[in-house]
Amino acid sequence: MSFQRVIVTLLVGFITVVLMYLCAAIYCKPCIEVIFTSESNKEIEYQVFWTAARGQRFNELQSVRKKIPKGKHLERFILPIQKIGRFRFDFGVRPGQASVSNMVLGGENIQSLNFDDFSFHNIDSKKVEKNKLTIVSKQNDPLIIYQKPLEVVPKQSVDWWMFFLLLCAFGASSYLILSYLRNLRISGTSGHRSWVDVVFVCLLGVLLCVPMMHLSEAVKSSWENRKLAVKPQLFIQGGGIDSDYGKKFDAWFNDRFFGRDAMLSFYSWLTLRIAPGRGNKDVLVGKEGWLFLNRKIGPLGYANAIVYSDSELKTGYNYIENFYRWCLRNNKKFYYVITPDKNKIYGEYYRTINKINDDSKGCAEQFISYIKQRSDASVFYLRDCLLQKKSQGLLYYKRDTHWSKLGAYYGYLFLAEQFKKDMEIDFLTVSNWKKVKEVRADLSDLYHQKHINDAVYLLPVVPKTVKSIVLPKYGNPTWMVRCENKNGKYRVFVLRDSMFTNFLPYFAPNFEVVECHWKYQITPDDLNRIKKDFDIVLIENMERITRGTIMRCSFPSDESLQGK
């Protein structure tokens, strides 16, 4: 056998192996289908969540969503999973009236889902008849969660159209490559083949195929702290071809090709050495290894260049004031606290950004001042108290957006003094401290920078006297946490964000119950529970998300509270 035939045989064999890899690793995926009939009088964006085990929590990375037009349609969601433990179905934002019927999970077997076996959340009213559920809800996130065990075995899903297109593409490219190799000659009159060129072309073909040898199945990128693109479908619901298929396929392949993490690592290494202060659209690189968020209000917030509109201030004020007045009528204490952005405490580590206005004109000060001029509600901004404690240790993580446990502790001490003015209670003080090298690095993830453990943080040590219980019936259990202490007094209902996580270990031991909800839109059902079971309402809100949360919330109307 000639050398030429050996090369051709190896090349054809390689292409065959690649196709087998692609069939097994890309187009033969285990999946479970969710099939149901949707009926509504407007477009609704349904979202399906799942977990692999019964004890796991729901999160956005394990979900699929789809916009369904108004009318009656048979719909199918494909869940790319090997095992399903829990199932949740969301009706989108303020769907009004909507119906779903004949809901089943399909794989190797089929399991019908009885609507009597679901728990219902953020739904104003519902009606279950036979295999049909009709809900009415004007709330932001009505949802149902299946309570019984799921016993569906996934089936293998094959995208035959994509396999056919890939086969054609490989066949055409193989024919061109082989034709080129057959006709290769060294320039001149000898007529001998150039084996150097042959080897070069073969190696080039191999290198072009390497990215397809293994495609990542990850849901989230650890380098970028974001959800990866999902594989698109060529044909859309209702017939026809998706006109954006090429763009979606390109985004999916770019997120998952073999060697991508190594390329990101090299890019990060190169960027840090060529342009150490450059950062990216999400992160600003400061002095001495400090990183800062470069989106939302970020640098403009530090420079005090952002001004809230009158309508934003009015909406936020109405929410706080109506909540405060409701608490007064029902004999509850009410507190609202804004936690400062990291750059308001450590802005000296910015490289090039200067303040346009002094801090008395910052957006958080603007909102707090607006409320205090019109209301007697207890509202606070923690910037001044944290600035006074900067000499005691690092109050924020160098490469993370959040405050450290030490910063949260000093914020807690400030709020405790405010509580003491309204109630008789002994608050926790810490006498035992530890030095730790903690790594909190959400900004390093956004900047493609590996975690660097070079900062020492003071950790206030608190005796563990609190029993923490997650509340899965409210949706995501890490967002809904209930802390109980049989020796405490008063019961606190908290609306919070991620800044409260480090705050909770110091706050919870002082009370009988602290129930934390990671949300801000209050519902009539929430108010009914507060009225019956709680003494205090606390709203904690980080500075940079005020515009996107409090200033978009509305307090339930008097009509919706009737009978509550």
What DSSP state is assigned to residue 44? E
Question: Last residue of a domain, which of 157, 184, 218?
Answer: 157
CA–CA distance, 523 with 525 (Å, rounded to integer): 5
Mean pLDDT of 243-261: 82
Tell me if 255 is assigned to some domain. Answer: no
Between residues 170 and 81, the one the model is more confident about: 81
Q: 283: which 2 tokens?
A: 């992160």
Q: Residue 542: which pLDDT band, with cuts at 50, 70 and 90?
A: very high
pTM score of the predicted model: 0.60
Tell me if 13 is assigned to some domain. Answer: no
pLDDT score for 562? 54
Rg (C-alpha) for the chain, rounded Å, is 29
Mean pLDDT of the chain: 81
End-to-end CA distance of the chain: 88
Tell me if 537 is assigned to some domain. Answer: yes
Asked which of 153-157, 202-206, 303-307, 484-488 is least confident by mean pLDDT, the reply is 202-206
Tell me if 511 is assigned to some domain. Answer: yes
pLDDT score for 101? 92
Sequential DSSP letters for 483-542: EE-TT---EEEEE--TTHHHHHHHHGGGSSEEEEES-----HHHHHHHHHH-SEEEEEEE
Q: What percent of the chain has pLDDT over 70?
A: 76
Contact 480, 516 (CB under 8 A): yes
pLDDT score for 476? 45
| DSSP H/E element including 63 | strand 63-68
Q: What percent of the chain has pLDDT over 90?
A: 30
Between residues 81 and 24, the one the model is more confident about: 81
Mean pLDDT of 354-374: 89
Tell me if 339 is assigned to some domain. Answer: yes
pLDDT score for 387? 94
pLDDT score for 217? 67
Question: Last residue of a domain, which of 157, 187, 214?
Answer: 157
Mean pLDDT of 46-75: 85
pLDDT score for 394? 94
What is the tens place of the pLDDT at every residue in 485-540?
888 889 999 999 989 988 988 888 889 999 999 889 998 989 999 999 999 999 99
pLDDT > 70? residue 163: no
pLDDT > 90? residue 295: no
pLDDT > 50? residue 44: yes
State whether 297 and 151 are in the same domain: no
Number of domains in the chain: 2
Structural domain harbouring 370? 293-561
Asked which of 149-163, 240-254, 403-417, 459-473 is least confident by mean pLDDT, the reply is 459-473
Tell me if 241 is assigned to some domain. Answer: no
143 phi and psi angles, rounded to 5 deg: -155, 160
Tell me if 313 is assigned to some domain. Answer: yes
What is the tens place of the pLDDT at every residue in 369-389?
999 999 999 999 999 999 999
Question: Last residue of a domain, which of 157, 174, 202?
Answer: 157
Tell me if 109 is assigned to some domain. Answer: yes
Which range is most confident: 8-12, 46-50, 221-225, 263-267?
46-50
Find the CATH number of the domain harbouring 150: 2.60.60
